[in-house]
Amino acid sequence: MSRYREAVATAERAFTAEEFLGLPENDHSRHCELIGGRIVMDPPRGLHSLVVQNLIVGFRRWIEAAPGRGFVNIEQGLRLTDRDVLIPDLLWWADASRVDLSKGIQPVPDLAVEVRSPATWLFDIGVKRRLYEEHGVGELWLVDTDAHTVIVSRRSGPRERSFAEGAELRMPESLTSPALPGFDLPVEDLFRLP
C-alpha cells in the first residue's frame, strides 16, 4: 500500500501540516486539504470544474487588459496553521511578485474563491471561511453551484480584522470588487456551458 493511501486509510488520527505536506503527491493528494488536522478529500466534479474554468478565463482577461493587475492561479496550497493546509479553487494576489511557483505553498492571497463540492461545502462556509478571515485573506467568494449564487465576504478596510457582512449575488448581478478595478463578471457567466 502506498504511503499516501496508508495515510488516508488511517486518517482517524490527526496530522500536522508538516506530516500532511510530506505525503507523496499523486492524483488523489491534489484534491486533499488538511482541516483541523484531518485529511479531507473531494475530487472536483462536473459543474465545479466548469465554474473554476469560467472564473480563470474572466480573471485572465481582466489581468491581461492592463498592467499591474496581479496574478491569478488555481489550487495553490496555503499553510495557515500547524493543523490547516487549505487549497482554494482560485487565488488572486494584487502583487504578482509575492508568488513563487517553484514552491508548493504560497503566501495568503488577497482574494480566495471556493466552489461548492459535496464533501467540502460545510467546511467552506464554516471553518474555512473563519480561517481565511483570521489569516488575512482580504476577500472570499463562495460559489454555490446548487443555488447558482456567490456569497461575497470582504473586509471594509485593509486594517479590519474580520469580514464585513457577506452579500449574496444572484443572476443577473455581477461579481465586482473594490480590489479589482474594472473587473466585472456576470454571475450567470460562471455557470455558462461552453
What are the residue boundaries of the structural domains of the chain, listed by start?
Answer: 42-190
Residue 144 has pLDDT above 60, yes or no: yes
Q: State mean pLDDT over 158-187.
A: 94
pLDDT at position 26: 66
Q: State mean pLDDT over 172-192.
A: 96
Residue 142 has pLDDT above 90, yes or no: yes
- Grid cell, residue 62, equals 481582466
pLDDT at position 6: 45
Residue pLDDT, tens place only, 169-179: 999 999 999 99
- In terms of Cβ atoms closer than 10 Å to its own Cβ (0-12, 13-18, 19+), residue 98 is middle
The CATH number of 42-190, from 3.20.20.70, 3.90.1570.10, 3.10.20.30, 3.30.70.100, is 3.90.1570.10
Look at residues 183, 180, 129, 137 and name the one whose alpha carbon lies nearest to residue 158: 137
pLDDT at position 73: 95
- CA-to-CA distance for 8 and 94, rounded, in angstroms? 35
Beta bridge partners of 39: 34
pLDDT at position 17: 95
Average pLDDT, the chain: 90
Residue 4 has pLDDT above 70, yes or no: no
Identify the sign of the CA torsion 5, 86, 187, 58.
negative
Instruction: Give the pTM.
Output: 0.90
Q: State mean pLDDT over 133-150.
A: 96
